[in-house]
Structure 1
Amino acid sequence: MNNLLAISLIGIGATATMDLWNLVRKFLFGMTPPNYAMVGRWLAYMPQGRFRHTAISTSAPIRGEHFIGWTAHYATGMAFAAVLVAFAGEPWIYHPTLGPALAVGVATVAAPFLLMQPGMGAGIAARRTPKPNVARVHSLINHGVFGLGLFATGWLLQLCYSM
């Protein structure tokens, strides 16, 4: 299998795993899933030179923000899968192991903590949210699930490839 294709599929699978987890959380615990339209809005303002918002939800909506946000969400998942392969080495694609996938998954929480949340008005590591510690724990769990998704998708691809 082409490595670029494998990395893309692993990233898509891991991102979908996280999205499924968010649906389970909504069903079981009544927790609102992330709104990727807000990510799209944040990104759509960047070409206009606006990188930081007081509260992204109060910024004017941008046409196509849902599509932009969801596309960025999955593109980021594929980029993080590439980080995993760069970190663990190309052989990981053919012999996936949990440790590196989980480590990279948890490490990806740096993106929302240090880039997205401050840029969207929530502050570093959600410090400006009503319950920052709760938000932090949920971000860590979500990114841990992403790491599990990296491993599970890599394992499934390897299983399918070996058949």
Structure 2
Amino acid sequence: MGWMITGVLMGIGGTLAMDLWALLLRQVAGLPLPNWGNVGRWSVQVTKGQVFNDDIGAISPVAGETGIGWAVHYGVGIFYGVLFLVIVGPGWLTGAAFLPLWVFSILTIAAGWFLLQPGMGLGWAASKTEDPWRGRRMGLVAHTVFALGMWVVALAVGGTV
């Protein structure tokens, strides 16, 4: 298996781990699941040149926005999986140390904090939400789960590159 396919699988595995984490949080703590429809709506707005919005919920719904949101969610995860291997090189797969992957995954939260959240009207790093620090902590944990998911896939298939 080539390193690029491994990167794709790592991205899918990390994103799936985040989704399973969200389901667990819903079951255990009653937290709401992410609204991928809003992400899809925002993504369509970006293609029209509107990156930042005051309130994505106030914008008219877009046909297929939930599917678009899910596709963007997994597409970004796949991009990150491949990008990580581009940065560290496919040789990383031999030992697959967790720390570089975890640091990378934590750094990727910057896209959510400084592009996605303000783009949807939530402010920089969720600053316009009811409890910004709770959202930031939850995001850091979710990105750690993302790293764990990518790492498990790297360990499982990395040796076949």
Task: Report the Cα offset of residue 66 of structure 1.
Answer: 0.9
Task: Report the Cα offset of residue 57 of structure 1.
Answer: 1.4
Corresponding position of 1:148? 148
Q: Helix, strand or coil for the counterpart of 1:90?
A: coil
CA distance in 2, matches of 1:95, 1:67: 36
Q: Deviations over 1:136-155 (max 9, x none)?
A: 11111111111111111111
Corresponding position of 1:71? 71
CA distance in 2, matches of 1:135, 1:116: 13
Q: CA RMSD in A?
A: 1.4
CA distance in 2, matches of 1:3, 1:19: 24
Q: Deviations over 1:99-119 (max 9, x none)?
A: 111111111110110100011
Q: Helix, strand or coil for the counterpart of 1:40?
A: helix
Q: Helix, strand or coil for the counterpart of 2:130?
A: coil
Task: Report the Cα offset of residue 88 of structure 1.
Answer: 2.0
Corresponding position of 1:98? 98
CA distance in 1, matches of 2:92, 2:36: 30
Corresponding position of 1:59? 59
Q: Helix, strand or coil for the counterpart of 1:157?
A: helix
Write out the 4+ residue segments of structure 1 that deviate beyond 6 Å after TM superposition: none
Range with bigger deviation, 51-60 or 80-89: 80-89
- Aligned pair count reads 161
Range with bigger deviation, 145-154 or 124-133: 145-154
Corresponding position of 1:9? 9
Corresponding position of 2:125? 125
Q: Deviations over 1:26-48 (max 9, x none)?
A: 10111112111111000111232
TM normalised by structure 1 equals 0.93
TM normalised by structure 2 equals 0.94
1:105–1:145 CA contact under 8 A, matched in 2: no
Structure showing greater relative contact order (alpha-carbon pairs closer than 8 Å, 6 or more residues apart): 2
For 2:111, the aligned partner's letter is A
CA distance in 1, matches of 2:15, 2:126: 21
